[in-house]
Amino acid sequence: MATVDAEPYGFDFEIPTTALLMIDFQRDFVYPGGFGEALGNDTSPLLKALPPAERVLKACRAAGMFVIHTREGHRPDLSDLPPAKKVRGRGKITIGDVGPMGRILVRGELGHDIVEEVYPIDGEPVVDKPGKGAFYATELTDVLEKYGIENLLVCGVTTEVCVNTTVREANDRGYRCVVLADGCASYFPEFHEMGLKMIKAQGGIFGWVSNSAAVLQALSPEIPLIAAAGGLR
């Protein structure tokens, strides 16, 4: 049994029943020219989640923990794109249109794929989802059940949209989630802060909040905390 220092209290887990869930680290959100920018956002704040998320990913792989990645996006024929989603933002460029990284938020395009720093390796399922939540219209429940997963360590973007929606879905289904604050990011600092605060409020109504250093410490208790936070690249 490992324990991650977390709020509202320590998060206990065992590696065989725990997965690292890496949510939507796609070029379309993290880099200019994708869906995030099409919605009017400055994408640069998302970049700061990558180094902590990469450290956690490597440590989880080294510890033999199961890793799952998600990507938001749609089929090339857009048959899984709700009409309301297509027109919502009233942007000049929207889902399915051609941008500098290919068609916006379309599976198979450069912009839709995951950035190099946290790219999936063999044996790590990539769950493609049409919505913000990773449980709706996906195989995620089946994957978690097949591997006997009960706990999720969560990194991803953005904190208040896809991370929060997925954690809420997971929590309703009985999964225990700990969200790593510095392994997540938002286009809006206040939404990042409040998205995390909503999760851990009321005794942890949606789950726990921790950070990358605490997870590295829990996975390798012999490594001093300061070294773990800066050195495990």
Q: Which residues are catalytic?
A: 24, 129, 162
* Residue 84 interacts with its own copies (CB under 8 A): yes or no: yes
Element (H, E) at 105: none
Smallest gap, in angstroms, from Cβ of residue 112 to its own copies?
18
Residue 178's DSSP bridge partners are 153, 208
Quick check: 104 and 159 in contact, CB under 8 A? no
| CB atoms near residue 103 (< 10 Å) | 21
**Which residues, 166 to 205, sit near its own copies by CB under 8 A?**
168-169, 171-176, 187-188, 190-191, 194-195, 197-198, 201-205
Q: Give the separation between CA 113 and CA 178, rounded to whole angstroms.
A: 25
Smallest gap, in angstroms, from Cβ of residue 123 to its own copies?
27
* Residue 78 interacts with its own copies (CB under 8 A): yes or no: no
Smallest gap, in angstroms, from Cβ of residue 198 to its own copies?
5
Nearest residue (CB) to its own copies, 24 versus 54: 24
How many residues make contact with its own copies (CB under 8 A)?
44
* Residue 73 interacts with its own copies (CB under 8 A): yes or no: no
Interface residue with its own copies among 1, 79, 83, 121 (CB under 8 A) is 83
- Of the CA atoms within 13 Å of residue 35, those in its CB half-sphere come to 28
**Which residues, 137 to 166, sit near its own copies by CB under 8 A?**
137, 160-161, 164-165
Quick check: 3 and 11 in contact, CB under 8 A? yes
**Position of tokens 């090339």?**
76
Smallest gap, in angstroms, from Cβ of residue 168 to its own copies?
5
Quick check: 144 and 138 in contact, CB under 8 A? no
